[in-house]
Amino acid sequence: MNWKSWGISKSPWLYHVNTGSCNNCDIEIVDCLTPKFDVERFGGKLVGSPRHADVLMVTGPITRKSKPRFERVLEAAAKPFIVAAVGTCACSKGMFHDAYNCVGPVRKVTEAADEDIMVLNIPGCPPRPEAIIDGLVTGLDQLKEVKL
C-alpha cells in the first residue's frame, strides 16, 4: 500500500456517470446516500465534478452517443482513480448484449482508453444498496494491497 491507495480507500469521493442506464442503478446509488443506508459512514460522498472524484460509479451499457462523453470523463478525472461498474449492464451489457446502439461493457471502453484503469464490477439488476456498499467496501479494502 502506498499513500495514494491509502488515501482513496479511506474516503472515496464518488462521481456518478450514467451511460444509458434505465435509472434503476442510479436511484439505488442515490439511495445509498439517504438516511437508511448512509454511505457517508464509510467516508463516501457524491461529488459534482470528475476532477474531485476517486471512484467513478458507472451505470449502463454505454450507448454510442454517450461513449465520447464517457471517455472525456475518464480523461478529466483526477488520477489515480478507480471505475466501479454498477449493475449488470455496466459489467457485461446483460440483456442489451445484442443491441445495436450499445458499445459497452465498461471494461472494454476503459481498457481502450487506458489499460491501467482498475474496474470494480458490482453486478445485479439493479444491485441493492447493500450490495453497492458491500462491493465498494470490499473493493477498497483490496485496494490497500495495490500500489497505484
Partner 1 sequence: MATTIPIGPYHPLQEEPEHYLLTVEEEEVIDVDVQIGYNHRGIEKLSEEKTFNQVPFLVERVCGICSHSHPYAYCLAVEDCGDIEVPERAKYIRTLIGELERIHSHLLWAGLAGHFIGYDTVFMWAWKYREDVLDLLELLTGNRNAYAMMKPGGVQREIKREDLEGARPTLQTLKEKSEMLYNAILDDPVLKARLEGVGVLPEEDARAFGALGPTSRASGIPADARADFPYGMYEELDWQVITREAGDTLARVEVRLLETLESIKMTEQIIDEMPDEGSIDSEPENVPAGEGIGNYEAPRGECFHYVQSDGSNRPVRHKIRAPTFMNFPTYKSTCVGETVADATIILASVDPCYSCTERAISLKGREDVDLLELSEKKTADLKEELGVNKSPLEEVLDE
Residue type, 133: I
| Residue 110 binds partner 1, judged by CB under 8 A | no
Comparing C-alpha atoms, which of 92, 80, 79 is closest to residue 121?
92
The minimum distance between CB 6 and partner 1, in angstroms, equals 27
Who contacts 15 (Cβ-Cβ below 8 Å, separation ≥6)? Answer: 46, 47, 48, 49, 50, 52, 53, 55, 56, 57, 73, 77
**One residue of 14, 17, 85, 109 binding partner 1 per CB under 8 A:** 17
Who contacts 71 (Cβ-Cβ below 8 Å, separation ≥6)? Answer: 109, 113
86: number of Cβ within 10 Å: 33
The minimum distance between CB 129 and partner 1, in angstroms, equals 9
**One residue of 3, 48, 116, 145 binding partner 1 per CB under 8 A:** 48
Query: Of the two residues 104 and 139, which places its CB atom closer to partner 1 in the complex?
Result: 104
CA distance 12 to 97: 31
The minimum distance between CB 34 and partner 1, in angstroms, equals 4
**One residue of 41, 98, 145, 147 binding partner 1 per CB under 8 A:** 98
Are 61 and 102 in contact, with CB atoms under 8 Å apart?
A: yes
Query: Of the two residues 41 and 147, which places its CB atom closer to partner 1 in the complex?
Result: 41
| Residue 51 binds partner 1, judged by CB under 8 A | no
| Residue 54 binds partner 1, judged by CB under 8 A | no
Q: Which residues bind partner 1 (CB under 8 A)?
A: 16-28, 30-31, 34-36, 46-50, 60-61, 63-66, 69, 73, 95-96, 98-102, 125-126, 128
